[in-house]
Structures are given as structure tokens and as C-alpha cells.
Structure 1
Amino acid sequence: MTQTIGPLARELSLPYYEDALPAHDCFHAKRVRDLSIRLADRSDRSVDRDVLAAAAWLHDVGRPLERTGAIDDHDEWAAAEAVALLDSEGVPADAVDAVEHCIRAHSIRSSSPEPETTEAELLFDADKLDATGAVGVVRLACIVGERSGRAGERYAAIDDSSIPDAEAPDVPDVTILREWARERLDELHTPPARRLGEARWDFMEDFFAQFYAEIGVDAER
């Protein structure tokens, strides 16, 4: 192996994102990589930045397959795929194991294991922070759009009046984005992430206040 595994993982991951939709594409992976390293720089704990970077690049390579129904769990699939890819490149077993755990533990799903290493906590936190702030508003809106129309999936209405002749529409309004962001912020593990998360939450509160003012809806309803 002639290169560190962060850049190697980037190279290996990019083909998997070619069919990704915007919320989970290679640009999301890069933002998570950059943000996880930023959090590592603010952490008072020792961090293997190479493992962290590699896990960030590879954590969502299974998303396009999960979206089409080809696989059920992108976390498990991506973890196994990352092991195969890194093993084939001669990456040391301890580094492969560390990356694998990060990927398996990065999801907010109840079925995902808890992060047990600093690198896994930082990856989890960076991934969740990418669903907050200005970028988060756009990403979460993309996710809602991806899911709209699927049986059993929630989607957003910009304004209740957009639902003709419906006194009590059975679809949630755009505050679903606010709920999802808050849910993720409440799960953050590390102090640097929580500090950044609250700053991003302040922006989102201002955004939604402006949003409701523009559509003439009482935000406290």
C-alpha cells in the first residue's frame, strides 16, 4: 500500500456515488469528511484522522442501492463493501476493522450499533450535522422530495392551502424538516459537535420563523 487510506477511500468510493441523488452523493461524503476532520481538530481526544476520512468517504456508498430496493440496509452493505475494497488494497486489518465499525455505527436507525470509538462518534456527528443549518435545510428538503409519493413515507406540503378542499390535511407541513434536524442534534456524541449543532440550530429557528412569516402561518399553532 503506497498511499494513506483517506485518499485511497475517496478514489474507491467515487464510482459508487455516480447514481446517487443529491442528499447522499459524493459532495455529501466530502462535506462529512471535511466536517469530521474539523471536529477532530477541536477534540481533546486522540483521533486517527486517516481512518476517519476513509470511513467518511465510504459511509454512504450503499445509498443508491438502498434507494432502488436492491439492498435493505446501506450501513451493513457499505461496511462489508468497505472491508472488501480495503482488504483488496492491502490495508492493515486493524485499520480496516476501525473503518468498518465507523460505517456500521454511523446511522441514526435504532438497529445501528452505538459508536464505540472516537472516530465512530465523530463520523456519526459529522453525518448528522450535515442535516442541520443551511445545508441541512436543503438536504432534508431533497430527502423529503425523494420519498414523496412512496407508500407509507412522509412528505411535506409547503402550505396547507396547497391541499385543495382539505380542512385537516393528513400530510405534515414543512416543519418535518425541523423535527428531523432536532432529532439528529439530540443524538450528537461529542462536545465540539454539540457546540456547532446549536449554532446551526439557531440559524434553522430563524429560517423557520421567516418561512412562516412569508406564508402567513402562526409558527406556534
Structure 2
Amino acid sequence: MQALRQTLRDIAKRDMAQDAAHDLAHLDRVWLTARDIAETMGGATRPLLAACYLHDLVNLPKDAPDRARASTLSAQAATPHLRALGFSDDEIAETTHAIAAHSFSAGIEPVSDTARILRDADRLDALGAIGIARTFAVSGALSRPFYDPTDPFAANRPLDDTAYALDHWPLKLLRLPDTMLTARGKQIAQDRAATMRDFLTTLAAEIGFTPEHPCWTS
């Protein structure tokens, strides 16, 4: 598996458009988390390894109009690489389904353990300490403010994550634990969401506001 991992990593390094949230380090983290989850479900497989390293082969910006198609395009782009690596037709089908179904915006339901593990592992990378860093890296790339300086926790305005980075947390990220498809994924997600809420408590103290609404605190 180690030789295959290095080959897949080389493919991603060469072919994937990388940004601060989707780079080789992201792929390494997803694989590490996927292995953790897979240990509770029978162990990691070649399709899971390949899906972890090729799932962002087509990486479109968050604000791209065809963003929802990125995972399907990644699955298509992965297919010739999998054939060249000697994957069977069944392994290719398992890998490409997992890639296509991992995306939040694609709306494709995972129907295999490989797909469920990849989706959980990828979403878990949006939580915890790395999730905090990614939030603000993406907001910087999109030239969005960290928060609304007059109402950072949206006490008197609608949440809008196209305007403020922090609004993305209650709208999506802090809801991710409820979307996990594996027991181990849910456990990790709850721990990482707690890390983010601790950060919110510290942030609130530093900027003189209180995140009173339940969407921030529970």
C-alpha cells in the first residue's frame, strides 16, 4: 500500500490545482482519518486509498458556478489513472463512486463503506484546529471579512457565509457532526466541533461580544 500511496500522491501533486484548503497536506490528513475510521469497519482498502488521494483531482474554487460538478469530474479524471495502476473494474467503480459521492454540493448518496468513510474523512478536515485554519484561509482567498464587526454572531441579522467567514460555522460546519455516516466519524466530529466552540468562546472574549444563539453554542 505504501508504494501505491506514493504513486497516487505523485499523481495528485502533478494534476491537482492546489489551494490552502485542498493541497497534498489535505489529502494526507484525509487518508490518515480514513484509516482511523476504516480500522473500526474492517480495515483500509486500495479503493479507499485511491479515493482519498484522487477525490480533489478536479479542484474548483468555492465560488465557481459549476462547483457542484467537481467531484463527478474528479471521478472521471481518476478513471484512467486507476486503469493504468491495474485496478479491476469493480475497484474502479468503488473508487469513482466514493469520489463522486464525497462532495457536500454534489448531492450523491454514498452507498458503500468506502464512500461513507471518504465522505466522513473529508468533512472532518473542515472541523477542529485544521477547520479553523481552513475557514480563514478560504475567506482570505475570497477577500471576505472574518466577521461582521457590528454583529459578529448574527444576533440581529441573517447569517450569510457569502459575506462573512465566521457565518459558515453555524450554517454548515457546526452541523457536520450530525451528517456523519460512521460511528467513529461522528465521535471525531463531536470532539473537533468542541474545539471550534472553545475557539468561539475565546474569540468572543477578545472582541467583546457573546455568541448567545444556540446555533453557535450547541
Normalising by structure 2, we get a TM-score of 0.82
Correspondences of 1:1-221 after superposition (within 5 Å): 5-17=4-16, 19-41=17-39, 43=40, 45-63=41-59, 66-67=60-61, 72=67, 73-109=69-105, 111-148=106-143, 155-161=144-150, 171-172=163-164, 174-220=166-212
Cα distance between partner residues in 1 of 2:55 and 2:151 = 37
Aligned length: 205
SS in 2 for 1:217: coil
Q: Which runs of 4+ in 1 moved over 6 A?
A: 167-170
Q: Indicate the percent of aligned positions where both proteins have the same amino acid.
A: 27
* TM-aligned CA deviation for residue 97 of structure 1: 1.2
| Partner Cα distance (1:27, 1:177) in 2 | 22
Task: Quote the Cα distance in structure 1 between the aligned partners of 2:197 and 2:157.
Answer: 25
Say if 1:159 and 1:173, in contact at 8 Å, map to a contact too: no
Contact 2:176/2:189 (8 A) holds in 1: no
CA RMSD of aligned residues (A): 2.8
SS of residue matched to 2:195: helix
Consecutive unaligned residues in structure 2, runs of 5 or more: 214-218
State the one-letter code of the partner of 1:80: Q
Q: Is the Cα contact below 8 Å between 1:108 and 1:184 reproduced in 2?
A: no
| CA distance 1:107–1:3, shift in 2 (3 Å) | same
Deviation at 1:8, TM superposition (A): 3.0
TM-score, with normalisation over the residues of structure 1?
0.81
Deviation at 1:200, TM superposition (A): 1.0
- The amino acid across from 1:131 in the alignment is A
Shift of 1:182: 1.5
Change (3 A) 1:157 1:8: closer
Asked if the contact 2:120–2:182 (Cα under 8 Å) also holds between the matched residues in 1, the reply is yes
Cα offset, 1:9, TM superposition: 2.0
Give the Cα–Cα distance (whole angstroms) in 2 for the partners of residues 174 and 182 of structure 1: 11
Distance 1:217 1:50, change over 3 A: same
Measured against aligned partners, the alpha-carbon deviations of 1:31-79 in whole angstroms (never above 9, x if no partner) come to 00111001111x1x3344221111000001111xx23959652101110
CA contact (8 A) 1:102 1:115 kept: yes
Mapped partners of 2:185, 2:27: distance in 1? 17
- 1:145 and 1:36 map into 2 onto residues whose CA distance is 28
